[in-house]
Structure 1
Amino acid sequence: MIILTGASGQLGKATVRRLLERVPAERIGVSVRDPEKVPELTARGVRVRRGDFEDPASLAHAFEGASRVLIVSTGTSGEAAVRHHRTAIDAAKEAGAGRIIYTSHMGANPASPFAPMVDHAATETALRDSGVPFTSLRNGFYAASGAMLLDDALRTGELAVPEDGPVSWTAHADLAEVTALALTGDGGLDGLTPALTGSEAIDMTRMAEIASELTGRTIRRSVVSDEAYRAGLLAHGLPEPAADLLLGIFAASRKGEFAEVDPTLARLIGRPPVSFGQFLATAVSPAR
């Protein structure tokens, strides 16, 4: 049985939909903290069981009979994130899974200034140490996160953010297709994958230009210092850890950690990946 964690989240839901196109529902199981959040999966015949990274016993039940397990990275960061991932890896191994698939990131790096990249690197080490065959999907930076960075600018007309570097923004929908391929053993993905990215890397200036083209109003990109940006986030009520986390995106992009563009994603899905402009077009409306 193919088991997926995180099936109530954006990537997990999309992956289950893609997987249902490839294998019968009775071969799919999901592990979610709240089974009531996915009634549509139960209705389609998918096995739904409660599984919580903080509760190893629940994972043992949720992973029962697993041939492959997808571990979708947790929404936390730091020691808690790595502990969650190790708990899930151990549970998958104990369940007898023949392969573990993990949603990592193209920027996984133990020295990255963006904290989640350090967590991904530590999890990849845990995967190697487990002795279980694994596939670590080095996903491109989610385009949805890029769109989030534009939220204020779409209202104010100014994208005021720190100095940045190019990012190869990548759509959840495209990554879900590849994840489903990995879960069915197609695509030949093993170990650390190449960067699974969109077809271009763009900076904040280009993002502002794209937003301007789509909305029909000028959105100006201005550069603010890291300190001023952080102070602005705190002034708007963002907790300090969250502000530092967000600031890390800019520090890491300046180092080129998200700039790589690789053809692997396009090859695996058999078409050009969704561009950032195409993704953003679904989220914004032209000015009236």
Structure 2
Amino acid sequence: MTTSPIAITGATGRIGGRVAQRLSAKGAPLRLLVRDLGRAPDLPGAQAVLAPFADGALVQEALTGVEVAFMVSASEDAERVGQHPAFVDAAAAAGVRHLVYLSFRGASEGSTFTFARDHAATEAHIRDSGMAWTFLRDGFYADFMPGLVGEDGVIRGPGGDGRVAVVARDDIADAAAAVLADPGAHARRTYTLTGPAALSFNDIASIVGEVQGRQVTYVDETPGGGPGLPRLLRRPRLGGGGVDLDVHRDRRRRARRGDRGRRGAHRAPGDAPARRAAPRRLTAAAGGRGRLSPRRARPERCAACSGPCRARAR
């Protein structure tokens, strides 16, 4: 592990905060880049500094003396496309050698999913920056699933019969901490982080209901009875497991082009086959005990060595 401080952005958030806690517990010196010093976590060996993404001068000053930095993507906002390059340029100017970026599954410039295009643009800018890099691409959070249940005990949305391998934030933080502790072993590698099981929204409703001791059901709101949002989002061209505010418009655009795409869920390398099993941390997020042994987030095969490189905490 490097003796210079490891920079963590988003340290007041759910991912950055978890990563900072794990690295602090290992005794790593940390520099926490935050927008509000009053919300910065008080961790051993950590120094909090004010450095919003859009302020290149403050970011460069905050990153001076840092060799390795963890960049959590900024909040979903129209300004994010401009904020990310500003941060990357400031990091390079400050002398950062390795940037670990929390990206998005299926990031692609040609995606019809807005956020996937944003992340692809950021990845391209990082590649051109001269810094070493590692990209961690995640998707739907397992921790988020219980929050989809309405007061009437119903999950509603355009999910159809698609499946999604939801991943726990704790697993993402474990993978990120492992990479940051030994960045050289993961240079120029892209990891797709998923959960251990591909679940339908009926599966998710059943799991949440069982754990919470009530009936939870899923009501499909897919327009026209199509294949459903998660199935579409599992296709790499569409960018992974997020929610596109323009998905209905995008589906109409594809229909006009005659681009219906193949049916069925895409499974990226490292995904587990579909099965009716509850990831332990999904049941934990719903308020109960898990039924499976913990599974770490799974990386895809490395483009550099074609091997199943693992970004696991040991």
TM-score (ref. length: structure 1): 0.77
Aligned equivalents of 1:244, 1:125: Cα separation in 2: 21
**CA-to-aligned-CA distance 1:254-273 (integer Å, 9 cap, x gap):** 8746x547279xxxxxxxx7
The answer on whether the counterparts of 2:137 and 2:193 sit within 8 Å (CA) in structure 1 is yes
Q: Which segments of 5 or more consecutive residues in structure 1 lack a partner in the other structure?
A: 228-242, 265-272, 284-288
How many pairs align? 250
Q: Which residues of 2 match residues 1-288 of structure 1 at below 5 A?
A: 1-24=5-28, 27-38=29-40, 40-41=42-43, 44-78=44-78, 80-150=79-149, 152=150, 155-164=151-160, 165-185=162-182, 188-226=185-223, 245=245, 256=265, 260=268, 262=270, 274-282=280-288
Aligned equivalents of 1:100, 1:180: Cα separation in 2: 13
Bigger Cα displacement from structure 2, 94-103 vs 208-217: 208-217
Aligned equivalents of 1:203, 1:159: Cα separation in 2: 12
Shift of 1:92: 1.1
- Give the share of equivalent positions with the same residue, in percent: 31
The answer on whether the counterparts of 1:197 and 1:263 sit within 8 Å (CA) in structure 2 is yes
Letter in 1 for 2:206: E
Letter in 2 for 1:72: V
Say which structure is richer in helix.
Answer: 1
Letter in 2 for 1:184: A
Shift of 1:186: 5.6
Q: Which segments of 5 or more consecutive residues in structure 2 lack a partner in the other structure?
A: 225-242, 252-260, 273-278, 290-314
Aligned equivalents of 1:32, 1:255: Cα separation in 2: 41
Shift of 1:205: 1.2
The answer on whether the counterparts of 1:181 and 1:187 sit within 8 Å (CA) in structure 2 is no
Shift of 1:201: 1.3
Aligned equivalents of 1:159, 1:110: Cα separation in 2: 31
Q: CA RMSD in A?
A: 3.0
| DSSP 3-state at the match of 1:57 | helix
Shift of 1:112: 3.2
Cα distance change of structure 1 residues 220 and 45 upon mapping to structure 2, 3 Å threshold:
closer
The answer on whether the counterparts of 2:12 and 2:41 sit within 8 Å (CA) in structure 1 is no
